[in-house]
Amino acid sequence: MKEKILITGGAGFVGSFLAEELLGRGYSILAIDNLSTGKLDNIAHLRDNPDFEFITGTILNEELMDDSIARCQKVFHLAAAVGVRLIIERPVETIETNILGTEIIYKYVNKHKKKVIITSTSEVYGKNNTIPFKETDDSVYGPTIKSRWSYACSKAIDEFLGLAYFHEKKLPVIIVRLFNTVGPRQTGQYGMVVPTFVQQALLGHHLTVFGDGEQTRCFANVRDVVWAMAELAESEEAVGQVFNIGSTELISINDLAKRVKTLSGSDSAIEHVPYDDAYESGFEDMFRRMPDISKVEKAIGFKPRRNLDKTINEIIEYFKE
């Protein structure tokens, strides 16, 4: 009998790659997704696999979570509101999904005593300007009138609650903070910059760089990220710990735009859009963001294997198809 793993958000961008990774490791998968940002297309290639089961449903449905968690040996909790645009346009949904939804997951993994891997985010560091971020660095948030920070706070609450369950109730919880993660199947609909630039480049539209474009990020390939998640889930030492997962190849958004243009052979212009026009007036961006990945490297030997050029090329191929 294969070990069964529940993936909430299993039809999402990261969830669908995680399902592939875990199927490859010999697990059977129960994926649940409410298809708000997830898509059936993301898992179309898995639907015929007898080890892959999919249910359309929400993590807010307690009966479904109770029953599904009982049927699985481990839970990867990925269902969440993600993407800066979505967070700013639908803040109620963001806060409710990320806080109430995760509370429900903890309630039932605790009831059935199952190991849970919680997907958090580099947003929890907020506008701390340290480089690179270590897991023990401070969270620095802006005021509550700026809705962007609700996402960071909601995910920080998820982390606090998980660590509380671990310390107080001995629940096996592992927290992973994903930094910018990109790859095929990700859409630019909710703000993500790499799929946005690739689509703009292929369509001959202007590449929209927000602000002065000197802000920097590190973009990890989703396949490297899900490998690390799967590996951590199998590690006993990882329990009760928080891990950064990401790439350390730092690039400015200006350089990213140029790189996408070169790799796609596009002659699109690069246009600078003031932040006030990009999202909401007074929008606060993060100036730089880079993970210190020494902890995850020590725990499981993680090293990003796919560089940014390779990843951008994969995304270009995906959109061309």
Residue 4 vs residues 1, 59, 147, 203: alpha-carbon distances, Å: 9, 18, 37, 42
Q: Would you tell me which residues interact with ligand UDP (CB under 6 A)?
A: 84, 180, 191-193, 196, 208-210, 215, 217, 253, 285
Residue 172 CB, nearest approach to ligand UDP (Å): 29
CB of 209 vs ligand UDP, minimal distance in Å: 4
Please identify, using beta-carbon distances, which residue of 172 and 304 lies nearer to ligand UDP: 304
To ligand UDP, the closest distance from the beta carbon of 317 in angstroms equals: 20
Number of other residues whose CB lies within 10 A of the CB of residue 78: 28
Q: Is 275 a residue of the active site?
A: no
Cβ-based nearer residue to ligand UDP, 28 or 147:
147
| Shorter beta-carbon distance to ligand UDP: residue 135 or 285 | 285
Q: Which amino acid is at 313?
A: N
Token look-up 């006993």 returns 236
In Å, how far from its chain's centre is CA 174? 15
User: Strands, DSSP E only, in 203-318?
Assistant: 207-210, 216-218, 220-221, 242-245, 250-252, 270-273
From the candidates 108, 151, 190, 279, which is the catalytic residue? 151
> Is the bond preceding 50 in cis, omega lying within 30 degrees of 0?
no
CB of 192 to ligand UDP, least distance (A): 4
Q: How far apart are CA 135 and CA 92, in angstroms?
A: 28
Residue 101 or 126: which CB sits closer to ligand UDP? 126
- Beta bridge pairs of residue 53: 30
Provide the angle, in degrees to the nearest 10, between the axes of the packed helices 222-233 and 13-24. Answer: 60
Which residues are designated catalytic?
A: 151
